Amino acid sequence: MDVTAVILTPAPEARTPRTPGMERVVRVVNTSDMAELLQERLAAAAAVKTAWWFYLDADDDLPLSAPSVIAQGIELADSHGVDIAYTDEMIRMPGGYRVRAPGPYDRQRHLRAPMMLHHLLLARTAASIAAMRRLPRGRYWTEMLLFCEMAARGAAYVPRVGYIWNKGNGLHTRPATTISQMRSALWHQGKL
């Protein structure tokens, strides 16, 4: 499979999930500064050598069906002539789980709901490198900034769980993350 899992981890000894049949780029990043995190995440993605890649947080998991979901996503993206494919995600929380199913891509909905494209999102490497060159730097949320740029021509939706988000007390709970998500949406609307 010509796919790389880009894994950011807070410490060298931290857990880094194995992705059978896939390459890995592992980068140690221990920051809550959104500008620094953007730089680190973009640099990690820029190091990918395969045709496709995705972010995999060190504390999250992939379902056993991930290889077939990823293959289906790449096939759909290729057939639709788009550079990204995304899936449903299982969100594990204390006491249970739920599945987030974002549905077919709609740019206006994405601008209102920055986490519409969250996990699992497959990005065509060449297109992501080109998109990164057009993006601003600063306190922006990587996923919204990069993936909204890449979805300008649309995105392929795979209505299957492709990612397991072990939701805890991560960066998503910090006000700086919400602010960076809003700044990213405003940049895409030409308001920043």
Structure confidence by residue, pLDDT tens digits, 49-76: 999 999 998 889 999 999 999 999 999 9
Per-chain mean pLDDT for the chain = 92
At 35, give phi and psi (nearest 5°): -65, -45
Q: CA-CA distance, 109 to 124, in Å (whole number)?
A: 22
Percent of the chain with pLDDT over 90: 73
pTM higher than the cut 0.95: no
What residues contact residue 180 under an 8 Å CB cut-off, 6+ apart? 34, 38, 139, 140, 141, 144
CA 98 and chain centroid, separation: 19
Query: Residue 169 pLDDT > 70, yes or no?
Result: no
**Nearest Cα to Cα of residue 188 among 83, 113, 124:** 113
Q: What angle do CA 105, 3, 127 make, to 5 degrees?
A: 55
pLDDT class of 177 with cuts at 50, 70, 90: confident
- Across the range 148-171, mean pLDDT stands at 91
- Residue 186 has what pLDDT? 92
pLDDT class of 9 with cuts at 50, 70, 90: confident
Q: How would you class 180 by CB atoms within 10 Å of its CB: exposed for 0-12, middle for 13-18, buried for 19 or more?
A: buried
Query: Residue 134 pLDDT > 80, yes or no?
Result: yes
Q: CA-CA distance, 176 to 73, in Å (whole number)?
A: 31
What residues contact residue 145 under an 8 Å CB cut-off, 6+ apart? 38, 135, 136, 184, 187, 188
- Residue 133 has what pLDDT? 96
pLDDT class of 172 with cuts at 50, 70, 90: low
